[in-house]
Amino acid sequence: MSIALVIPDRDLSRLVAELNQLLPGVVIEQWPDIAQPEQIEFAVVWKQPAGSLASFTKLKAIQSYGAGVDSVLTDPRLPDVPVSRIVDPGLAQAMVRYLDTMVSVYQLRLDRFIHDQPLQQWRPKGPRRLETITVLGLGVLGEAAANHFIQAGFQVSGWARSAKQIADVRCFAGADQFAEAVKLADVVICLLPLTAATDSFLNEQRFSSFKPGAIFINVARGAIVDERDLIAALDTGQLQAACLDVFRQEPLPVGHPFWSHPQLTITPHISAVTNIQAAARQIAENYQRSQQNRSLLHQVDPQKGY
């Protein structure tokens, strides 16, 4: 009856303390210091090294320590057990707050004024007119974002794999309807999962479907975007600006062209950070469910990749 935390390079003391309280008597071990791998029945993982779960021969379930599972499912030696992810209203709230803030930043042209400050340039200009928003991905986070921007008075479209009905949101589905979904948007927000189908999906061809001069915000995964094509779209003015919270390689390497691009605003993957208490409650619940051979909360479909 042991849980392994396979979450490298993080201080896990608060998570361990929460889990000890919620699951008294259950042994919590931290990878790589796993005394008896054959006793591990439940693994909590985030960017686990490939093959690190392979020695857990009694594993019943895997819990991602985040909302995304891309880094979990790409492990070629992942045990064949159910995988679940964190779904937390607090996480959605944090994401909506970040997106709302960034849209205000662009409305007020703060991106330009912050850029002008070290140059000592005084270039006043009125707010940008941003009226239409398209959200790519209408899952837990995308739907929360779409609903928020409807309430805030924007015209909102959304795009997902399957058809959706969300009050006041123009919903589009499937690759055939992508261009239609984005063509009128002043701001396009990416909240897609990273899967085989979305890897490098936002490339030159897709950016060319955007409204000329659109603003792009990526809070999903860096690898959904073709980096060179994004820079080219900024350089030609097809995109007037972009905000990136996520990157193909994190931390974003020193010297990467994104750091110094004047039309880019960068944040270090902080738009919606996993809340330790909320995550611990879901981990405890799913651990108990796995012990009782019940289905897990927020289980993902490995075939779809999310």
Dist CA 295 CA 84 (whole Å): 10
Q: 131 to 160, contacts with ligand NDP by CB under 6 A? A: 137-142, 160
- Annotate each residue in 187-226 with x if it binds ligand NDP (CB under 6 A) or - if it does not, as one string: ----xxxxx-xx--------------------xxx-----
Catalytic one of 221, 248, 289, 298: 221
Number of Cβ within a 10 Å radius of residue 161: 18
Q: How far is the CB of 166 from ligand OXD (least distance, A)?
A: 22
Q: Which of 15, 67, 145, 191 is in the footprint of ligand OXD by CB under 6 A?
A: 67
72 contacts ligand NDP (rule: CB under 6 A): no
Residue 165: both structure tokens together: 């009905």
Dist CA 210 CA 180 (whole Å): 9
Q: Which segments within 196-263 are labelled E, that is strand?
A: 214-218, 239-244
269 contacts ligand NDP (rule: CB under 6 A): yes
- Annotate each residue in 273-292 with x if it binds ligand OXD (CB under 6 A) or - if it does not, as one string: -x------------------
What size, in residues, is the chain? 306
Q: Is 115 a catalytic residue?
A: no
Number of Cβ within a 10 Å radius of residue 285: 16
Q: 76 to 95, contacts with ligand NDP by CB under 6 A? A: 91
How far from 180 is each of 170, 174, 194, 239, 303, CA to CA, in Å? 10, 11, 22, 17, 27
Q: Which stretch binds ligand OXD (CB under 6 A): 60-68, 73-81, 155-163, 285-293?
A: 60-68
Residue 161 contact, options ligand NDP, ligand OXD, none, Cβ 5-8 Å cut-off depending on partner type: ligand NDP
| Residue 155 neighbours by CB under 8 Å, 6+ apart | 131, 132, 133, 170, 184
Q: Which of 41, 45, 68, 103 is in the footprint of ligand OXD by CB under 6 A?
A: 68
| Residue 128 neighbours by CB under 8 Å, 6+ apart | 106, 107, 109, 186
Residue 197: both structure tokens together: 């189908």
Residue 30: both structure tokens together: 């931290």
Q: Is 221 a catalytic residue?
A: yes
Residues labelled as active-site residues: 221, 269
Q: Which residues contribute to the site for ligand OXD (CB under 6 A)?
A: 66-68, 274
Q: Which residues contribute to the site for ligand NDP (CB under 6 A)?
A: 67-68, 91, 137-142, 160-162, 191-195, 197-198, 219-221, 245-246, 269, 271-272, 306
